[in-house]
Every structure is written in C-alpha cells, then in structure tokens.
A and B are shown apart, each in its own frame.
Chain A
C-alpha cells in the first residue's frame, strides 16, 4: 500500500528566508509524486509533479522539489518565501497502474510566514 509522511505539522518561517518542507513516501513501484498547496477555504492547487527523468523538478511560484529514491523523499524547497506563501502544503503519491488511479496524501504541513 502506498503512503506519505510529512513529519512537520507546522512550520514558521520569516519572510525572505528559505524553506524546505519534508516528504517521505512508500510505494512498491515507480512513484508519481506531487506537491499541492491549499489556501484557507480553497481547493488544492498543483505546485509541481515528478514522474521520471531529472530528479530536480521546477514548479510554479518559485518552488522546486528533489526526488531522492535512496531516501524515499520528495522535499519541497523555495529559496525565499513571500507572505503569500502562507498556506497548507500537501505531498501526494500516485499509483502507476492504469485502473488504480488515486492519490494518497500526507497529512499536510501548515506554513506560517512572519514579517
């Protein structure tokens, strides 16, 4: 069974500081990995995704993530956060078998930005 662990429930970062959100996954086959962001009262917006190829993936809003197979990790990074980045971030893993298409989400990391 696939699973995702986001060990940090809440992170507080100063505006302009760098950010790294951790994500570890468990999946028996080739994982498809995603990072989504959710602002209060909103649905989820895709930040970036990894399927294969280059292990460093660029996304929207200046985010990037690095896939490390040996560590089963897919950490999200941003060099300099903005106040508008305050939101909840979800890492997700998808199945690679047609007909078993579902996303398994982590429990999320709430990001607070302080001035």
Chain B
C-alpha cells in the first residue's frame, strides 16, 4: 500500500504570495491532518478534515486554509505569505480520524518564504 504523498517537496516563495500544498492520503483513509513544523514552535496542529469537512482547527490565522476532496485528497493554502511561514508542512492520514487511530505522516513540504 502506498504511503502518504505530499507535493511539492520543496517550495520557494516570496512574501505576499500565496501557496497551495497537496496531500494524498493512504488509500482508504478518510481523515487528513496538517501540521506545521518549525525550529522555534515545533510541531503544531493546523487542521483536520474528514469526509470533506473540517472537523478540528488549530490556532492559526485565517490565512491558513484547507479543503478535502471526495477522494480524500487534501490541499492547504496559505495566502499573503510571511517570513514566519517558512516551515516543514506535514500531512498525516488515518482511517477515520479517531484519536486511537494511527496517523501516518508524509515526508512533508519544505516551504521557504523569502
């Protein structure tokens, strides 16, 4: 079974631009979560989607948004990029998103904002 895939793996953007990251979960998984990882703040939860609905959201500004498609693939969008948005963005999928489910992480997208 293929793992979680994230595209692109690396991105360089400039301040003020917007960016869209993509995540394809493991086949059959319906829950997708997004995390931001930075050296200063560590791993922080962004949001979780299940069956095309955002079910849970972390403490991030409205510039961070996401969506999930009917095939469970998910995208996250960051508008009006700031230098502080430079981070590794990790996507994780699980079966139905219960806390007891194992979350499987993708390799991440490394975003650099100049």
List residues of A whose CB falls within 8 A of some B CB.
Answer: 32, 36, 41-46, 49, 51, 90, 92, 94-108
B56–A99 CB distance below 8 A: yes
C-alpha spacing A44/B44, complex, angstroms: 13
User: What are 18 inter-chain pairs, A to B, with CB distance below 8 A?
Assistant: A32-B99, A46-B104, A90-B43, A92-B43, A96-B99, A99-B55, A99-B56, A100-B56, A101-B56, A101-B97, A101-B99, A101-B101, A102-B58, A103-B33, A104-B45, A105-B42, A108-B42, A108-B43
C-alpha spacing A107/B10, complex, angstroms: 23
B33–A101 CB distance below 8 A: yes
Whether B108 is near chain A, meaning CB under 8 Å from some CB there, is yes
Known contacts A94-B99, A95-B99, A97-B99; decide if A102 and B105 are in contact (CB<8 Å): no
List residues of B whose CB falls within 8 A of some A CB.
Answer: 4, 31, 33, 35, 42-45, 48, 55-56, 58, 90, 92, 94, 97-108
Q: Which of B48, B100, B108 contacts A102 (CB 8 A)?
A: B48
In this complex, the member of B4, B99, B107 whose beta carbon has the largest number of chain A beta carbons within 10 angstroms is: B99
Min CB distance A24 to B, Å, is 15
Min CB distance B52 to A, Å, is 15
**5 tightest A-B CB contacts, nearest first:** A43-B105, A94-B99, A105-B43, A44-B105, A102-B45
